[in-house]
Structure formats: structure tokens, C-alpha cells
């Protein structure tokens, strides 16, 4: 399976795991909707900072 773990860097610069095994990401103007393979969903006010799919790693950056 090729899902990724999604990490969020908060406004203080700290990185934390936001959601594991994410399959779908749908950005909108203000936020990003994440859904993982267990059908858990999260929506965060953030932008995508970088993605490294082979490492199963996506990093988001919190925004105002």
C-alpha cells in the first residue's frame, strides 16, 4: 500500500504526526482535507510544504 504519513509543522516550528496512512489529500483555498485508508478524515488550515512519496512522508505547514 502506498499511503503516506502526514506531519504538521505548527506556528512554533514544531513537527508532529497529524495522520497516518493517508490515501487522499484535497487542498482548497483555505485548508487541506486528508483521508486515510481507515476512512478517518481531518481538515487542517495548512499548506503543503513538501512530499517525499517513496519515504511515505508529507509535510504540511500550519497557516493563519
37 counts as binding its own copies under rule CB under 8 A: yes
62 binds its own copies (CB under 8 A): no
* 10 binds its own copies, rule: CB under 8 A: no
- Region of residue 10 (left: phi > 0; alpha: psi -120 to 50; beta: else): beta
Work out whether 38 is an interface residue with its own copies (CB under 8 A). no
What is residue 29's three-state secondary structure?
coil
Spatial contact of 57 and 51, defined as CB atoms under 8 Å apart: yes
Q: With binding defined as CB under 8 A, does residue 52 bind its own copies?
A: yes
- Among 7, 20, 23, 44, the residue binding its own copies under the rule CB under 8 A is 23
Cα–Cα distance list, 54 to 12, 23, 62 (Å) = 28, 14, 23
Give the interface with its own copies as residue ranges (CB under 8 A): 1-4, 22-27, 37, 47-54, 56
Amino acid at each position: 500500500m502506498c499511503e503516506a504519513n502526514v506531519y504538521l509543522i505548527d506556528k512554533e516550528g514544531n513537527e508532529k504526526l497529524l495522520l497516518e496512512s493517508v490515501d487522499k489529500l484535497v487542498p482548497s483555498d483555505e485548508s487541506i482535507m486528508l483521508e486515510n485508508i481507515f476512512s478517518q478524515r481531518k481538515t487542517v488550515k495548512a499548506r503543503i510544504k513538501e512530499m517525499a512519496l517513496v519515504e511515505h512522508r508529507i509535510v504540511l505547514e500550519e497557516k493563519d
